[in-house]
Amino acid sequence: MNAAFPPEQLAPENAPDTSGKRPGLTILIAAPRGFCAGVDRAIEIVERALEKYGAPVYVRHEIVHNRYVVDELRAKGAIFVEELDEVPGDAPVVFSAHGVPKSVPAEAERRNLMYVDATCPLVSKVHRQAERQLEKDRHIIFIGHDGHPEVIGTMGQVPEGKITLVETVEDVANLPFTEEDELSFLTQTTLSVDDTHEIVAALQARYPQIVGPKAEDICYATSNRQAAVKELAPGSDLVLVIGAPNSSNSVRLVEVAERCGTTAKLIQRASEIDPAWLEGVGTIGLTAGASAPEKLVREVVDKLAEWREIDERPILVTEEKMTFKLPRQLTD
């Protein structure tokens, strides 16, 4: 005769789980993510300037678009200002990674200010391209977002009236030029790859004579981070992008995820995560804009681990090995 099972082994099928185990959550972590070579370089420029010249070192605008980074540098002795007239005559000043109009270093030289230019070398490349197009007497059509510091800096490389900003395909249709005009186009480095291709196609269709850059102006880091989101978003219930609202490349990552049909949220810190976002969510895609440090990625993972059992899975699209040299004045 078979022995009866003990009562505790005959729990009904729908009995509540009293094990205390939290529900699982898979986190697909984008690679690459976070800091790019230009951001690394810009931050190191401020840190080296503080070491070499001592505090305070003034920085014109946010060195990169990330509050955490700015606050860390401020704690070390950096003072962030909007314009050069806020900089004392005997203090060093650093120009941000986004680039500046030609009028800014000209003003610094007029005042004999000691300045260090932290413009990303890939942005500087676009500045040189603008100068070459001007030398060839071509009007420049610049694809970018109005008011962004990089756009202001690039448009400020050429005289007023020699460059025209477009933001959308609709803007292209309203341009006043003809097929007889000598035209060229350049782009901001942190745009949506897909949107930019559409605008370029519209320009080329309307102006077959238009001349573009030999290589795409959108930087490697922007392209790689968008490609990684395209890989992880379709398998995610929610995508979290760590970045600032004024960070162009971070906002583009949200848009890329949403175009894949996945809800996406832009957050600056883990404290901004609403637990209600996790209702019905089994898989989260996680990435960070090019100005966000890895510390903030780990902070988000730790916060999610307070609510769920975490299974981290990297989504590797490519490995980045790009580095940029520091200005000679900080290495001599």
Q: What is the pLDDT of residues 198-234, one digit of tens each?
A: 999 999 999 999 999 988 899 999 999 999 999 999 9
Domain assignment present for 155: yes
Domain assignment present for 214: no
Q: How far is Cα of residue 308 from the mean position of the Cα atoms in its chain?
A: 29
For the ranges 11-25, 34-48, 117-131, which has the lowest average pLDDT? 11-25
pLDDT at 62: 97
Domain assignment present for 2: no
User: Domain limits at 133?
Assistant: 122-206
Domain assignment present for 19: no
For 64-67, the CB contacts below 8 A with 24+ separation are: 64/39, 64/96, 64/97, 64/291, 65/243, 65/244, 65/246, 65/247, 65/248, 65/250, 65/289, 65/291, 66/243, 66/244, 66/247, 66/268, 66/289, 66/291, 66/292, 66/293, 67/244, 67/268
Contacts of 152 (CB under 8 A, 6+ apart): 101
Catalytic option among 150, 179, 255, 299: 150
Strand partners, 164: 141
- CATH of residue 115's domain is 3.40.50.11270
Region 280-293 average pLDDT: 98
Confidence grade of residue 332 (pLDDT, cut at 50, 70, 90): confident
Quick one: DSSP state of residue 23?
P
* Residues 232 and 294 placed together within one structural domain of the fold: yes
Q: What angle do CA 318, 322, 326 make, to 5 degrees?
A: 160
The sign one gets for the Cα dihedral 252, 256, 257, 259 is positive
Provide the whole-model pTM. 0.91
Instruction: Note if 150 is an active site residue.
Output: yes
* Residues 56 and 135 placed together within one structural domain of the fold: no
Backbone angles phi, psi at 80, to 5 degrees: -95, 130
